[in-house]
Amino acid sequence: MIRLWRTSAPLTAVAVVMLLAFVAFVAGIFLDPRSITGVPAWLKPAKFAISTAIYSLTLAWVFRALPSWPRTRAIVGWTTAIVFAIEVAIIAAQAWRGTTSHFNVSTVLNGVLFGVMGTLIIVQTAASAAVAVALWRERQFHDRAIGWAMRIGITLTIVGASTGGLMTRPTSAQLEQARTTHVMSVAGAHTVGAPDGGPGLPGTGWSTEHGDLRVPHFVGLHALQVLPLFVVALRRLGWPESRRVRAVAGAGAAYAGLYVALLVQALQGHSVLSAIH
């Protein structure tokens, strides 16, 4: 943590704050009996807090491979930290109010908060793209396999993050309701083929009966952790660097294939459990 702090104080600081917030939100799950769209009110803030903490620490670790990009590291570090702090604060505030944070346009306030979150995520995605450019242009890595894992991983992470845009499209049912009532209270959904809030997997809430865009979104987002960890595992097994480079290229292609398969499955309205059956 000390080395990560020296690499990027903003990212390390926001990660620590998010970890503390995660503990508080988990406590809220047990102490607050309220539910929102069928799940504990504080589950979503908890998931976002731990996810942003993991990403922040991972990005600070990636920055150690980019010593010749100080300006990019500074701008992206501060941008990411500020975006995550505001994003989780809005999600927590909406949970405290007992309402949804995403897709909620039922009032002017809810619509503005949802719009702010969407804008911030676009900014964050652009910041991630700047890191991707730096990684693809960087030529000196202490381990070429780790370098390739970072390059492929962050590219897939950006693609996975972009899946969130598919969730913000109003569904046919929402558009029909708006045409009939001239009011749209919800714009967008996680679930494909049914309204949000149906039966879901414990802990994640992913639909067990219909398609859920959060599944490919999650898989894509965590490529930046999975692929480097894969390389570290191969290194501990004693694989030479050249072999690890080939292995991570194949793993990256397989991971991309998994993401595409899960995305197609979700868009077709099939639950992630359907592949098991």
Write the CB contacts of 214 (distance below 8 Å, at least 6 apart in sequence). 167, 190, 204, 205, 206
Residues of the chain with pLDDT under 50: none
CA dist 25 and 49 (Å) reads 8
pTM of the model: 0.91
Q: For residue 271, what are the CA distances in angstroms to 143, 178, 223, 259? A: 39, 27, 21, 14
Q: For residue 60, what are the CA distances in angstroms to 23, 186, 194, 238, 276? A: 22, 36, 39, 26, 37
CA dist 60 and 77 (Å) reads 8
Q: Among 24, 247, 81, 255, which residue's Cα sits nearest to residue 159?
A: 255
pLDDT at 275: 59
Angle at 168 between CA 219 and CA 192, to 5 degrees: 65
CA dist 115 and 225 (Å) reads 29
Q: How far apart are the first and last CA of the chain?
A: 43
Measure CA 146 to chain center.
21
Residue ranges of the domains in the chain? Answer: 1-140, 144-171+190-277
Write the CB contacts of 195 (distance below 8 Å, at least 6 apart in sequence). 173, 189
DSSP 8-state class, residue 142: S
DSSP 8-state class, residue 239: -
Tokens of 167: 């969730």
Q: For residue 94, what are the CA distances in angstroms to 34, 42, 102, 110, 183? A: 13, 10, 9, 8, 21
* Rg (alpha carbons) of the chain, rounded to whole number: 20
Q: Among 103, 56, 86, which residue's Cα sits nearest to residue 221?
A: 56
pLDDT at 55: 96
E strand or H helix at 260: helix 241-267
pLDDT at 170: 86
CA-based torsion, 238, 241, 242, 245: positive or negative:
positive
